[in-house]
Structure 1
Amino acid sequence: MTTLPIRDYRRPFLLCHPHLETIYPSLLRRVPPPPYRRERIDTPDDDFLDLDWLQTGHEKLVIISHGLEGDSSRAYVTGMARACNSSGWDVLAWNFRGCGGEINRRPRLTHNGATGDLDTVIRHAIASGHYRQVALVGFSMGGNLSLVYLGREAQMVPQEVVGTITFSVPCDLAGASQRLAAPGNAIYMRRFLRLMGHKVHLQARRYPQEFPTDGYENLRTFADFDNRYTAPLHGFRNAEDYWAQCSSHSYLDRVRIPTWIINARNDPFLSPACFPASDNPNVTLLVPRHGGHCGFSSFDHEGAYWSEVTTVRLLDHLGTS
């Protein structure tokens, strides 16, 4: 793949620590809500997905996949949606199961291997007949899911999908889980467990056997959670089996379309294996020195973050290649 002259990321002076780079945009960035149009679609297993559209009549579509316990209203999604739409692309920001404001019907959770859901969304968008080109943009878990889909399910990817841009990707789920279990990352781990626990308790009202809640407060890590819920609910032997089957670094050699993985060197969530070297000419790894996790903040007067400016540049390249 031709290397593009992407502008280096320079973090704002005040955000001088990886945790500040990660937490500031998550808690304090304000982006005007896009005028989404919500659509609910059914899945093949009788569940549903909530899709938020930003349509202005373009023939090209960006599908945005959010991170773990995120949704289409998060600032990193809405900022990206506005930037892409202003650059000539319609946008579809989809919500993973249970993430659109209403708990899903089936006894399932969103997880890193749910490529069938992403495929359902992509094919639904293409079936509308409006789009000749589709690009995928993914953050964190949404980035990993997109890469797993492109590699593991390479045979099923529609020809309209022309490229993928991902940020802050835990390509190595085992290593990322270990990083988040470290004492220095306890603030993130507690938040994830609290948010995931809320959904577990909602599901337990209908499926008490599949979602036991006794002792939930004793869970401390992703290993605890995935061994108790994710693995048995979705056909994995245990957490390690889930991580091994759903880590995108195992599938990068099969990716057939232009793909970028953009991971900050100082991302507090990522292990060394989350910066994969690939011989696949379709896959490019960009490693800015700074950026945190889903950060890449900017204080410029236009308000666009480096991740958004970079994505628009890469989309322009896809649109003319």
Structure 2
Amino acid sequence: RGCSGEPNRALAYYHSGDTRDLALIAGILRERHPRANIGAMGFSLGGNVLLKAMGERIDGGQGLFDAAAVMSVPYDLAASSALLQQTHMGRIYSQYFMRSLRRKVEWKRNQLAQRLNMADIAQVRSIEALDEVVTAPLNGFKSAGDYYAQCSSTTFLAEVRVPTLMLHSEDDPFLPSDAIPHREVGRNPALRLLLTPSGGHVGFVGGTPWAPEFWGETVAARFLAQELKSPHHE
């Protein structure tokens, strides 16, 4: 979908709510390994996709996976987009992403010009503005706000039925602390929130500079291993 270093063939790119590829691959794995327990891990935007993929299904994702873990998810896309423009660290991340996204737009300039206003795209200076003039119209959303409302994983958490670990930091520059979904987690026994005071965005690192320990991944892998071998999956 445009993340491999070369343009994808479709006009649209990936986005935070596009769950089709994930559901397809999970379905193939189920067909090939019908007796296997299957887990999934999602980071950042990928975590939003994973949570939405499970929560939007009538079975709460049980037909896809037996356990899941996510890290540093921007649960509320509107709040995330706004915060990226309000803090110094957020603006650094935003500028980095904007450079990458502009390259992807340039790859398909001739194709996009048939559907979008390229003059508007040239004036874009924020993620939200890009979502307004590129992501939303290419994917059938009315606006950036409509895209955020339909694709924020917070709105799908109540329906998740797969045991899921949610690792997050209170100082994540992608999400204000008041948008962390405490209420949704408290109402759904399938969800387990591991919240730390620091860790930034996908930055759960310990040890020393010479011997770093990526403990976030270790905790997630341990959770998945424990859930996938538990009796209720036998």
Q: Is TM (by shorter chain) over 0.5?
A: yes
How far did residue 101 of structure 1 move?
A: 2.5
Name 1:305's counterpart in structure 2.
Answer: 214
Report SS of the residue matched to 1:285: strand
- Retained in 2: the 8 A contact 1:201–1:211? no
Name 2:140's counterpart in structure 1.
Answer: 235
How far did residue 285 of structure 1 move?
A: 1.3
Report SS of the residue matched to 2:193: strand
How far did residue 152 of structure 1 move?
A: 1.3
CA distance in 2, matches of 1:183, 1:282: 33
Whichever residue aligns with residue 151 of structure 1, its letter is G
Root mean square deviation of aligned Cα: 2.0
Q: Aligned ranges for residues 57-136 of structure 1 at < 5 Å?
A: 97-129=1-33, 132-136=36-40
Matched residues, number: 225
Report SS of the residue matched to 1:263: strand
Whichever residue aligns with residue 193 of structure 2, its letter is L
Q: Per-residue displacement from partner, 1:120-149 (whole Å, max 9, x unpaired)?
A: 121223333386111110111000111111
Q: Aligned ranges for residues 237-316 of structure 1 at < 5 Å?
A: 237-277=142-182, 278=184, 279-299=187-207, 303-316=212-225
How far did residue 102 of structure 1 move?
A: 2.3
CA distance in 1, matches of 2:48, 2:156: 10
Cα separation, partners in 2 of 1:249 and 1:207, compared to 1, 3 Å: same
CA distance in 1, matches of 2:34, 2:206: 34
- Judging by fraction of residues, say which structure has more helix: 2
How far did residue 313 of structure 1 move?
A: 1.6
- Retained in 2: the 8 A contact 1:263–1:288? yes
How far did residue 154 of structure 1 move?
A: 4.0
- Retained in 1: the 8 A contact 2:60–2:162? no
Cα separation, partners in 2 of 1:121 and 1:273, compared to 1, 3 Å: farther
CA distance in 1, matches of 2:57, 2:127: 25
How far did residue 100 of structure 1 move?
A: 1.7
Given candidates 84, 107, 130, the residue that maps to 1:202 is 107
Gaps of at least 5 residues in structure 2 are none
Whichever residue aligns with residue 124 of structure 1, its letter is I
Name 1:147's counterpart in structure 2.
Answer: 51
Given candidates 85, 103, 123, the residue that maps to 1:181 is 85
TM-score by length of 1: 0.65
Gaps of at least 5 residues in structure 1 are 1-96
CA distance in 2, matches of 1:123, 1:302: 39
Cα separation, partners in 2 of 1:240 and 1:126, compared to 1, 3 Å: same
- Aligned-residue sequence identity (percent) comes to 33
How far did residue 212 of structure 1 move?
A: 4.2
